[in-house]
Chains A and B, each alone.
Chain A
Amino acid sequence: MNTLDRKVFRELWLIRGQVFAIAMVIAAGLSTVIMSYSTLESLQQTRERYYQEYGFADLFASLKRAPIKLVQRIKQIPGVVDVDARVKAPVRISLENVDDPMQGLLVSIDHQAITSINKIYLREGRMPDKNLQTEVLVSEAFAQPHDLHAGDVMQIIVNGRKQTVHIVGIALSPEFIYQIAPGVIIPDFSRYGIIWMQREALETAYDMKGAFNDLSIKLTLEAKQQLIIQQLDSLLKPYGGLGAYDRELQVSHHFLSEEFKQLDSMGSSFSFIFLAVSIFLLNMVVGRIIASQRDIIATLKAFGFSNRVIAFHYSKLIALIVVIGMVIGITAGLILGNNLAKMYMEYYRFPYLDYQLQIKVIVYSAGVTLLAALLGTYISIRKAVLLQPAEAMRPEIPARYNVTFLESLGIKKYLSQPSRMVLRHFERHPIKAILSVLGTAFACGIMIVGTFFMDAMDYMVETEFKLSQREDLMVSLINPSSYKAIYELNNIEGVLRVEPYRSAAVKMYAGSYSHRTSIQGFSKNNHLHRVLDIQNKPVNIPETGILLTAFLAKKLQVQAGDQLTVEFLEGKRLTRQLQVAGVINQYIGLSGYMDIDALNQLMLEGRVVSGAYLAIEDGAGYNTQAYLKGLPQIAGVSEKKSLIESFYATVGDFILTYIAFVTGLSVAIAFAVIYNNARITLAERTRELASLRVLGFTRGEIAYILLAELGLITLLAIPVGLLIGYWMSYGFIVGLQQDLFRIPFIIEMPTYAYAILVVICSAIISGLIVRHKLNQLDLVSVLKVKE
């Protein structure tokens, strides 16, 4: 190793504190990028592989009932490779010792017609024996929370009839990666399960002898999906077809796609912000380290080292720091990514995880960081080597200080001489001061972006569940039925209030835009379940027209007063025109809202309800639920309390875990930046402070000058940082709007306070370290050496 290289390592060691801090900033930036993209890529690859290996269908359709011989005609549609015609039936599940109402979906498995579509992956046990009609498979998502295994027994109620079934295996299917009950947004794994049953057994239980009500279709690669959907629709219409759809509308696939989109959006926003901030900070620090070596650079030049060699020498120093950061960042990113992906695996039921290393992402992000650092080095070095060595070795011209603006305002007499020094130093080096303030401000801002999510989630839940959905229970009926059901519900003990609703699956069209969703019909004077306007004030449901979730209105490009075409996917399957009466605020889900009577009229149905919202007496929850669970016409009962719980346990959990990682990283950045600032300021001002010591200033007094400067930087940085945090968070939210939910832009005071606290604590710790260093310095000897 030559002497110049030895200098690199010596100096690296000498500024190890700073090196570590800079490396942390780089590591934070890189690990965010790597964590986000490797998680996303892993999940996407896993899904892709799973779909392929287990034959996830391309088209889906549900219908009322069609004879099995129809399958032959469907198979003849050009482009269709294979068809799986099954029976699916809603089911209620009873487990010993579990009182919660549980629902599920029964899916038929056919031993005669083996298809390659939506194949089952057995996690444990075996497939049901074709001769034993009571054998079933249970989905892993449902089995786990109840600790169900092969060999266990449970009771199910199909079509009002109770029967006992034997679990012989725990299964996964590409159809149910995201296991969620129809019509809900938040999965509740313990209260909704998938059960696979022998076709014959299910046909008998659900009165579907020789018929099917569900289609999965595999297409050739070149098949024209839209054309086939049209053909299917006309073929299935006489059999109560609800409209064929592609993967995009398949519930599990749709939710997964939405969540991947969200992960992608979070990942790219955070990655961009973190990488940009760490590159900015890196350049700031590099510039100052090189500036502090100005005279050494001049000396090297005096010995005859060429500019190129000197630039290369410093590039090595910086590159090493970056490499240290990279190693930490890449390692941390991979570990965090792997853990995050594993956590997602708890919710997405994949049989395996293909963890992706994402070499490309690593190479790109590390490359960008290194290039940016080297560019910064180059710029700083260029400035240093362009000076004639003689000039660079001369002490810098004493800076021209002025009486500062603040002092000129007349507060001079209140300022001590050291305070004036601090202020003048600030005004004399405005760019340096601005950069220091900006660096600290970014650290502060990044804290806000990291933590405001919790506020937003809380606000979202608060608004949705306390202002809008104020019911205790939501009851859904197996089939839309007459108003009589409402009176019956009203008579149940413990029920205080019942508000009916009608829900209808529709496809909305406006111009060239369309969206498949549902319309909810409410009573005019709903008290429990309300819709809120943009200011979150309750809105009365208009007698005519439809209210749309603002995000849906935007998707369809309509506003109040516009016409909308609505195609009902159930009942008489009418297509109607509706006027948009207004837009409403809704953070979770997308829907249209109408008056219940108007909706029934539109569908040409009588006074029909799909279910009801219930308020129940305090403490009556358990009994009431148990009673409701026993009623045959009730498809499901969902409790708001457990809805909120499962929201935090699933959707919330994803985001919050991610955020926890990010917050940790932003604390690291904040500290690293502030500490670096402090160390560089100390290095730059040592001589000046030493002179003051010699003049008789105490250690405390000179520490004041340094610390007051740091304090001033910190104080100025905080408001700027809060603003930066505000805008970065806003940019973030905009990128996160999606069908599933829209996170509101809310930053609460404690989040600001938390950011401020971290910045101030970092400043205090850095200040203490710097003060310690200052006390340790043999200040008098500093003066002996030339500047």
Chain B
Amino acid sequence: MNKQVVFQTQAITRHYEMGDMVVHALRGIDLELYAGEFAVILGMSGSGKSTLLNILGGLDLPSSGQVYYQDLELSQASDKELTDYRRHHVGFVFQFYNLIPSLTALENISIVTEIAEHPMQPEHALELVGLSDRMNHFPAQLSGGQQQRVAIARAIAKNPSVLLCDEPTGALDIETGITVLETLDVVNRELGTTTAVITHNASISDMAHRVIYLNDGQISKIQQNETRISPHQLSW
């Protein structure tokens, strides 16, 4: 199979200084992610998976090593290049949704589509996540699952090349979590968006093409799933 590499990381490390302590979040990651794949990055709390995702998304820079998005070296990119990269190529879904409280569901999406190059209609994005009837609600009037689905709609509305999801079900109950995962699955299958989901929930890995196990800032194992199961068959 001739797989097109979307992301490539070479020996990236990332450490933070927290007061007197130095926290080593990543200790040398070599990884490739391929076009159209659905990858799950699995690891316990503190394994460095969020840091990895943030670096892939251009939200953070590695302390050392190189990261490439196609031909763009993210680790050397200027602030403007990173901004353009995020604006045109990446859709983010955050664990805590990060909706803007003063904007309605629809406005939370249009704020992104207004600056994107080839966006879908915000209403259409909401329709994809099944929230057409909630478009004029403010975040405070939505349940956690609904907020996360708005966040996904916001991430996909710009038609991004990659979708990066940080614990998208972390704050949700099983049922809502599965609805959210189904949405991600549909986006990946129908739009062909390269999707990386980080989670500490091992059950989710069954829906991925590949599962990358992260442990203490290093990749401990990469597992290729021969068959993927659909989200509604998942259980945890």
Footprint of B on A, CB under 8 Å? 2-4, 6-7, 10-11, 14, 295-296, 298-299, 301-307, 388-391, 393, 397, 400, 784-786
Most chain A beta-carbon neighbours within 10 Å: one of B60, B87, B98, B171: B98
Q: Is the CB of B112 within 8 A of A14?
A: no
Footprint of A on B, CB under 8 Å? 18-19, 50-51, 54-55, 57, 59-61, 79-80, 83-88, 90, 92, 94-96, 98, 100, 102-103, 107, 110-112, 114-116, 144, 171
Residue of B nearest to A11 (CB): B102
Q: Is the CB of B80 within 8 A of A306?
A: yes
Determine how close the nearest CB of chain B comes to the CB of A293; give it in whole angstroms: 10
Q: Is the CB of A393 within 8 A of B98?
A: yes
Q: Is the CB of A304 within 8 A of B96?
A: no
B83, B88, B114: the one within 8 Å of A306 (CB): B83
Residue of A nearest to B50 (CB): A390
A389 to B61, CA, bound (A): 10
- Given A295-B98, A388-B61, A6 and B107 contact (CB-CB distance below 8 Å): yes
Determine how close the nearest CB of chain B comes to the CB of A282; give it in whole angstroms: 22
Q: Is the CB of B59 within 8 A of A388?
A: yes
A4, A295, A301, A389: the one within 8 Å of B111 (CB): A4
- Given A3-B110, A14-B102, A390 and B18 contact (CB-CB distance below 8 Å): no
29 pairs from A and B in contact (CB 8 Å cutoff): A2-B114, A3-B103, A3-B111, A4-B111, A7-B102, A10-B102, A10-B103, A14-B102, A298-B59, A301-B83, A302-B59, A302-B86, A302-B98, A303-B92, A304-B84, A304-B87, A304-B88, A304-B90, A305-B87, A306-B83, A388-B61, A389-B60, A393-B94, A393-B98, A400-B19, A784-B144, A784-B171, A786-B95, A786-B96
A101 to B174, CA, bound (A): 99
Residue of B nearest to A15 (CB): B102
In the bound complex, residues from chain A placing their C-beta under 8 Å from that of B51 are: 390
Residue of A nearest to B96 (CB): A786
A4, A11, A304: the one within 8 Å of B86 (CB): A304
In the bound complex, residues from chain A placing their C-beta under 8 Å from that of B171 are: 784
In the bound complex, residues from chain B placing their C-beta under 8 Å from that of A388 are: 54, 59-61
A768 to B87, CA, bound (A): 45
Residue of A nearest to B116 (CB): A304
Determine how close the nearest CB of chain B comes to the CB of A308; give it in whole angstroms: 9
A296 to B110, CA, bound (A): 16
Determine how close the nearest CB of chain A comes to the CB of B164; give it in whole angstroms: 10
In the bound complex, residues from chain B placing their C-beta under 8 Å from that of A784 are: 144, 171
Determine how close the nearest CB of chain A comes to the CB of B109; give it in whole angstroms: 9
A393 to B61, CA, bound (A): 14
- Given A3-B107, A393-B94, A303 and B87 contact (CB-CB distance below 8 Å): yes
A301 to B59, CA, bound (A): 8
Q: Is the CB of A7 within 8 A of B83?
A: no
- Given A295-B98, A397-B19, A303 and B112 contact (CB-CB distance below 8 Å): yes
In the bound complex, residues from chain B placing their C-beta under 8 Å from that of A10 are: 102-103
A512 to B108, CA, bound (A): 76
Q: Is the CB of A303 within 8 A of B115?
A: yes
Residue of B nearest to A293 (CB): B100
Q: Is the CB of A785 within 8 A of B96?
A: yes
A296 to B98, CA, bound (A): 7
Determine how close the nearest CB of chain A comes to the CB of B82; give it in whole angstroms: 9
Residue of A nearest to B80 (CB): A306
Interface of A is mostly: helix
In the bound complex, residues from chain A placing their C-beta under 8 Å from that of B144 are: 784
Q: Is the CB of B115 within 8 A of A305?
A: yes
In the bound complex, residues from chain A placing their C-beta under 8 Å from that of B19 are: 397, 400
Q: Is the CB of B59 within 8 A of A304?
A: no
Q: Is the CB of B96 within 8 A of A303?
A: no
Determine how close the nearest CB of chain B comes to the CB of A394; give it in whole angstroms: 9
Q: Is the CB of A305 within 8 A of B110?
A: no
Determine how close the nearest CB of chain B comes to the CB of A451; give it in whole angstroms: 41
Most chain A beta-carbon neighbours within 10 Å: one of B19, B100, B103, B107: B100
A3 to B116, CA, bound (A): 13
- Given A2-B114, A3-B107, A7-B100, A307 and B79 contact (CB-CB distance below 8 Å): yes
In the bound complex, residues from chain A placing their C-beta under 8 Å from that of B60 are: 388-391
In the bound complex, residues from chain A placing their C-beta under 8 Å from that of B103 are: 3, 6-7, 10
Instruction: Sort A-B residue pairs by CB-CB distance and give the 10 closest, nearest first.
Output: A304-B87, A786-B96, A390-B60, A390-B54, A10-B102, A390-B59, A3-B111, A304-B86, A389-B59, A299-B98
Determine how close the nearest CB of chain B comes to the CB of A389; give it in whole angstroms: 4
In the bound complex, residues from chain A placing their C-beta under 8 Å from that of B86 are: 301-304
In the bound complex, residues from chain B placing their C-beta under 8 Å from that of A295 are: 98
- Given A7-B102, A307-B79, A397-B18, A302 and B107 contact (CB-CB distance below 8 Å): no
Determine how close the nearest CB of chain A comes to the CB of B41; give it in whole angstroms: 15
Residue of A nearest to B53 (CB): A390
Determine how close the nearest CB of chain B comes to the CB of A386; give it in whole angstroms: 9
- Given A301-B86, A305-B83, A784-B144, A3 and B94 contact (CB-CB distance below 8 Å): no
Residue of B nearest to A6 (CB): B107
Q: Is the CB of B111 within 8 A of A303?
A: yes
In the bound complex, residues from chain A placing their C-beta under 8 Å from that of B114 are: 2-4
Determine how close the nearest CB of chain A comes to the CB of B131; give it in whole angstroms: 17
A785 to B122, CA, bound (A): 24
Determine how close the nearest CB of chain A comes to the CB of B153; give it in whole angstroms: 13
In the bound complex, residues from chain B placing their C-beta under 8 Å from that of A391 are: 60
Residue of A nearest to B54 (CB): A390
Determine how close the nearest CB of chain B comes to the CB of A142; give it in whole angstroms: 65
- Given A6-B107, A388-B59, A302 and B96 contact (CB-CB distance below 8 Å): no
Given A10-B103, A389-B54, A391-B60: 5 more A-B contacts, CB < 8 Å: A302-B86, A388-B61, A393-B98, A784-B144, A786-B98
A596 to B62, CA, bound (A): 94
Determine how close the nearest CB of chain A comes to the CB of B154; give it in whole angstroms: 8
In the bound complex, residues from chain B placing their C-beta under 8 Å from that of A4 are: 111, 114
Determine how close the nearest CB of chain B comes to the CB of A6; give it in whole angstroms: 6
A393 to B98, CA, bound (A): 9
A296 to B111, CA, bound (A): 13
A6 to B110, CA, bound (A): 11
In the bound complex, residues from chain A placing their C-beta under 8 Å from that of B88 are: 304
In the bound complex, residues from chain A placing their C-beta under 8 Å from that of B107 are: 3, 6-7
In the bound complex, residues from chain A placing their C-beta under 8 Å from that of B55 are: 390
In the bound complex, residues from chain B placing their C-beta under 8 Å from that of A303 are: 86-87, 92, 111-112, 115
- Given A2-B114, A7-B111, A400-B19, A296 and B100 contact (CB-CB distance below 8 Å): yes
In the bound complex, residues from chain B placing their C-beta under 8 Å from that of A389 are: 54, 59-60
